[in-house]
Structure formats: C-alpha cells, structure tokens
Amino acid sequence: MAKKKSRRPKKPLKRSAKGSIQKTYLLKALTGLGILILLVVIAGVLTHHLISKRYTVLPTTKPVVIKTPRFEIYPKNEIPPHKPIPKTKPSVPIKLPKIAIIIDDIGYDKNIAQKFLDLDAVLTFSILPHSTHDNRIARMAHSKGFDVMLHLPMEPNEYPLINPGPGVLLTSMSPDQIINQLNEDLDAVPFVKGVNNHMGSKMTTIAPQLYQIFSILKKRRLYFIDSRTTVDTLCRPSAQLLQVPFAQKDVFIDHIPKPDFIRKTIHRLIKIAGSHGEAIGIAHPHTVTYEVLREMLPELKEKTILVRASDIVHIVD
C-alpha cells in the first residue's frame, strides 16, 4: 500500500508579526475615527457660520424704544395742602411772595424740556436718573442758572404693579443697597442741588429708610423737597432730625392735564403764596402745561416772584 502523505502543521505566527497586524487594524480604526470627528467639526463650523451670517446681515427693522416711566400716582382723594388757604382775602403784602415751580419727570423728552427751558421764567428741573437725556438736559438747565434736582424714584404702595423706573429705592433693600443705589442715582445727574421724591407713597412713610436717605443728602449738602404723595409722609421730621434743608409741595399743578384745571391750580398756588409768603408747585412735562404756563407768566410775574427751589428750602425748626 502506498504511504499517505502527511500534512505538515502550519507554523504559528510569530508574536512580532501578530502584534504588527493588531497595530495596523488599530491605526486604521483611529484614523477613521479622527476623520469622522474632523468632518463633524467642519460641518458644525460651516453650519454656525451660515446661521450667523443669515442673522447678522439682516437689517434691524424696528428701533429700540425706551418706555417713559409713569409720571406720578395721584391719590384718589386729593391731599390737602400743608399750608392752609385763607378764606378771607389777605392784605396786600409789602413785597411780592415767592413761588418755585418744579418741572418733574424730566429726562425722556428733550424737545418738551427745551420748550420749558426757553420760557422767560425761573424754573427748577427735576430729572429722573438713568433717563435717556438726563445728562444733556441737566447741563442745559445749569447753563441757564436753573436749579437741577434729582427726581428720586421711590417705592409706592402700588409696587410692583406700578414701577417708578430705573434707580428706584425699595423698602425691601438693605441699608447698604439703599445707600449704593442712591449714590448711583445722584451721580447719574450732574449739577444736582436737591432731591424730591418720584412716587414714594410707601417709602416716605418708613423712618429708618428715610434716615439713611437723608444722611446721604446731608453728606452731599443737598436739600430735599417732599412731593407729598401721601398724607402719612415722614419726610419733614426726618429732615428736621438730620438738619437737611427742606420744603414741601403745596400744589400739583397738572394732575388733571386740562387747560382750565391748570389755570385753577396756578391761581391756587398764587393764593397760598400770597398768604404764607412762599409756595411750591409741581408740574410735569405736558405740552398743555407748557402752553398754559406761557399764557399765565405775565400774571405770575405781576403777583409773585418766580424763584429757584433752593430759594425756598429751610432748615426745619
């Protein structure tokens, strides 16, 4: 019988050759993964570029509109004047009484501010902090020799339903927060000589916060005029305690912005001044207020002397 050919067993691969093959497969896998990652990155960059280009080349169709804060919150029942109006006709004074008219809520409309600035009258301009034209209007008023005041936003009873606007002082603030915010507000308006409250029917009734506010005003040698947005205001005793020059509003001139009403309140202001020697009226930048004030300037000049607010404030005894 023929002998069967015996198959020689295959020689096993050497360890060095086997390792080389594994390294080759691993290198190919890593290379493929790297290419895949690179493609993903490139795709992401291209997508971001296309999206950015799409949105940046489109022109802005709507201008940015800054909303003017509400002028004031007038109480349902009118606050009686702190200086009583005489029932009988006062005797003719030896010298004319003084009236200071403060134009509140200035800062967002430079055109109406310019109209009041151009009147042949001494007025005081109380400017809202951080408003659109606060700096420019303050400089214009100062250049004409008018008093510049900070119209300081303070928390009303209606907050947060009604927000007094940027720079508001809130009763929930810590002493440091109140002081820091007040300093920021004062620094926002140049040439400030005094302060009056914007709203504030809640803040002006809380003594501890008022002491903090008045301590800063005293340090800066500023006066304070209480807009009297509530009968419960504690501004007078606070100013008395810290010896800050002080006065109070006698009449809101235009809380009903109608010509006949504004004429009536100006006559009321003249009567109060005639009885007590001086009075303060607060008006707002309404066109109708400007027109009536311009119309009544001859009568005001005949019966009173228009002065700056700083000419009426006093240290409270």
Q: What is the pLDDT of residue 173?
A: 97
Encode pLDDT of 234-250 as tens digits: 999 999 999 999 999 99
State pTM to two decimals: 0.74
Give the percent of the chain with pLDDT over 70: 72
Q: What is the pLDDT of residue 27?
A: 66
Separation of alpha carbons 104 and 71, rounded Å = 8
Cα angle, residue 256 at apex, residues 253 and 260 outer, rounded to 5°: 75
Separation of alpha carbons 221 and 50, rounded Å = 58
Q: Sorting pLDDT into bands at 50, 70 and 90, what band is 31?
A: confident
Average pLDDT over residues 156-163: 95
Is 83 a residue whose pLDDT tops 90? no
Q: Sorting pLDDT into bands at 50, 70 and 90, what band is 24?
A: low
The structural architecture, per CATH, of the domain 98-311 is Alpha-Beta Barrel (3.20)
Is 282 a residue whose pLDDT tops 80? yes
Name which of 61-65, 199-203, 264-268 the model is least confident about: 61-65
Encode pLDDT of 190-225 as tens digits: 999 999 999 999 999 999 999 999 999 999 999 999
What would the two tokens of residue 232 be? Answer: 């419960």
| Partners of 196 in the β-ladder | 151, 225
Compute the mean pLDDT over every residue in the chain, rounded to the nearest whole number: 85
Q: Sorting pLDDT into bands at 50, 70 and 90, what band is 112?
A: very high
C-beta separation of 224 from 235 below 8 A: yes
Q: What is the pLDDT of residue 268?
A: 97
